[in-house]
Amino acid sequence: MKRLLAANPDTLQLVDPGFSTALIGWQKKHGRHALPWQKTRDAYRIWLSEIMLQQTQVAAVVPYYQRFLLRFPDVASLAAAPVEDVMAHWSGLGYYTRARNLHRCAQIVAAQYAGRFPDDPDLLAELPGIGRSTAAAIAAFAYGKRAAILDGNVKRVFARVFGIDGYPGEKAVENQLWLRAAALLPAREIESYTQGLMDLGATVCTRSKPSCGTCPFAQRCVALRDDRVSELPLRKQKKAIPERQTAMLLLIDEQQVLLEQRPPHGIWGGLLSLPELALPEAGNPAEFEAQLAQAATPFGVVSGYDKLPAFSHTFTHFKLHIAPYRVELSRRHAIAGQLQHQWLRADCVADAPLPAPVKKLLLAVFAGQGSKTAKLL
């Protein structure tokens, strides 16, 4: 790394020892020191926390992290577990591709690295779900390696302190940020420096309402000097979010509900969810009832249905409008040997690998007194 910095004039001119010195000093005095994944060199625990923290706030991660470790205390136990078990313990945390990659990564580390995560950031970055920045964080915290991170918080800090224009998601801008991230690395105390970048972006240099008065770089921050704190980093131009609609069927037999396994890829991949139908056209309930009866035929005889309050769920790239229908069966058919569908008891819903909005819906339905269903026409 030292030879690379010396040979690259673009990087060399960005070297700024005062930045890392100030940040390390601030982190030791004002940074976070009581997070459950701190004060450890266990690469497994550090890796798990870094994956969970991708696109998720610390407050939401902490209880999931603690429960996950109780069930999967090490990489061997995670690698040996059924993926359904992993998904169940991840349920509600969102971005479920992370959970599938987590499981695959554990299996690779167990099989190819004898259960020990490699200390080389380049090798770490080749593992499923671990990008360049996450690999650097793991290498720094677990092994003391001098490697640069560049997550969303760090991009925001750099953009404001150094007055960097351009949307950080653009390749040219991101490349310049990586050069700066490498040039600013301290020779020592990489752990405090790396944690300091995370802490500063998460607690002081926040996206909205930053606490500039408590920032260690207030006297040199270009964005603060030029009154551009709310402007930097530049945001991606917003596009209209596509919207989709679906009907979800709650086929209920006494205190059990029918669930189906979603495909391994796509939204809620690998989780259990409710069967879906295309929404009925306005003014044509008979057609919808025919579709509903046809969809339910393999599982039982429909005696009636009730439309529940609709709700919406926003994903990264689109918004899904969901119209749930509670369907009562007068007689249930056996589904022995059916791998895609299964009946789940009401008392098992809370711990099942379900998407958060589906779990919330089912808990509310089973907790209620139950409403009368409309007889089929």
Instruction: Specify whether 275 is located in the same domain as 149.
Output: no
- Asked whether residue 42 is domain-assigned, the answer is yes
Per-residue tokens: 189: 């105390």
pLDDT at 309 over 60: yes
Instruction: Specify whether 176 is located in the same domain as 31.
Output: yes
Instruction: Specify whether 296 is located in the same domain as 154.
Output: no
Instruction: Specify whether 22 is located in the same domain as 78.
Output: yes
Instruction: Specify whether 175 is located in the same domain as 257.
Output: no
Instruction: Specify whether 270 is located in the same domain as 220.
Output: no
- Band (pLDDT 50/70/90 cuts) for residue 296 is confident
State the pLDDT at residue 349: 92
Mean pLDDT along residues 219-248: 92
Which of left, alpha, beta for 65 (phi over 0: left; psi -120 to 50: alpha)? Answer: alpha
Choose one of 225, 255, 277: the last residue of a domain. 225
State the pLDDT at residue 375: 40
- Asked whether residue 317 is domain-assigned, the answer is yes
Do 314 and 239 form a contact (C-beta atoms < 8 A)? no
- Asked whether residue 232 is domain-assigned, the answer is no
For helices 190-199 and 17-30, give the axis angle rounded to 10 degrees: 70
Choose one of 171, 190, 225: the last residue of a domain. 225
Q: Which helix (H) or strand (E) holds 251?
A: strand 243-253
pLDDT at 162 over 70: yes
Choose one of 173, 193, 225: the last residue of a domain. 225
State the pLDDT at residue 329: 86
Q: Residue 340: which of 263, 245, 234 has the closest Cα? A: 263
Annotation marks residue 50 as catalytic: yes
Instruction: Specify whether 28 is located in the same domain as 75.
Output: yes
Mean pLDDT along residues 249-277: 89
Task: Pick 7 or 127 by higher pLDDT.
Answer: 127
State the pLDDT at residue 336: 59
Instruction: Specify whether 141 is located in the same domain as 177.
Output: yes
pLDDT digits (tens, 9 = 90+) for 180-227: 999 999 999 999 999 999 999 999 999 999 999 999 999 999 999 999
Q: Residue 54: which of 91, 93, 106, 19 has the closest Cα? A: 93
Per-residue tokens: 118: 């490699």
If you ran DSSP here, which 8-state letter would residue 321 be given? E
If you ran DSSP here, which 8-state letter would residue 333 be given? P
- Asked whether residue 80 is domain-assigned, the answer is yes
pLDDT digits (tens, 9 = 90+) for 29-38: 999 999 999 9
pLDDT at 154 over 90: yes
**Phi (first) and psi of residue 154, to 5 degrees:** -70, -40
pLDDT digits (tens, 9 = 90+) for 360-371: 999 999 987 444
State the pLDDT at residue 7: 43
Instruction: Specify whether 218 is located in the same domain as 282.
Output: no
pLDDT at 6 over 60: no
Task: Pick 179 or 270 by higher pLDDT.
Answer: 179
Report the amino acid identity of residue 172: A
State the pLDDT at residue 232: 96
State the pLDDT at residue 4: 34
The segment with the largest mean pLDDT, out of 33-42, 330-339, 346-355, is: 33-42
Mean pLDDT along residues 9-34: 89
Instruction: Specify whether 206 is located in the same domain as 268.
Output: no
Q: Residue 316: which of 248, 239, 245 has the closest Cα? A: 239
- Asked whether residue 235 is domain-assigned, the answer is no
Number of domains in the chain: 2
- Asked whether residue 230 is domain-assigned, the answer is no
Give 30's strand partners: none
- Band (pLDDT 50/70/90 cuts) for residue 253 is confident
How many CB atoms lie under 10 A from the CB of residue 47? Answer: 27
pLDDT at 150 over 60: yes
pLDDT at 294 over 50: yes
pLDDT at 106 over 90: yes
Instruction: Specify whether 76 is located in the same domain as 209.
Output: yes
pLDDT at 372 over 70: no
Catalytic one among 50, 189, 191, 328?
50
pLDDT at 333 over 90: no
Mean pLDDT along residues 269-292: 81
What contacts 283, CB < 8 A, 6 or more positions away? none
CATH code at 128? 1.10.340.30
State the pLDDT at residue 229: 97
Pairing label, strands 311-314, 319-332: antiparallel
CATH code at 361? 3.90.79.10
Q: What is the mean pLDDT of the chain?
A: 90
State the pLDDT at residue 19: 97
> C-alpha angle with apex 339: 336 to 341, nearest 5 degrees?
85
Domain with 41 in it: 2-225
State the pLDDT at residue 275: 93
- Asked whether residue 231 is domain-assigned, the answer is no
- Asked whether residue 238 is domain-assigned, the answer is no
pLDDT digits (tens, 9 = 90+) for 43-94: 999 999 999 999 899 999 999 999 999 999 999 999 999 999 999 999 889 8
Q: Residue 126: which of 144, 114, 113 has the closest Cα? A: 113
State the pLDDT at residue 374: 40
Instruction: Specify whether 24 is located in the same domain as 165.
Output: yes
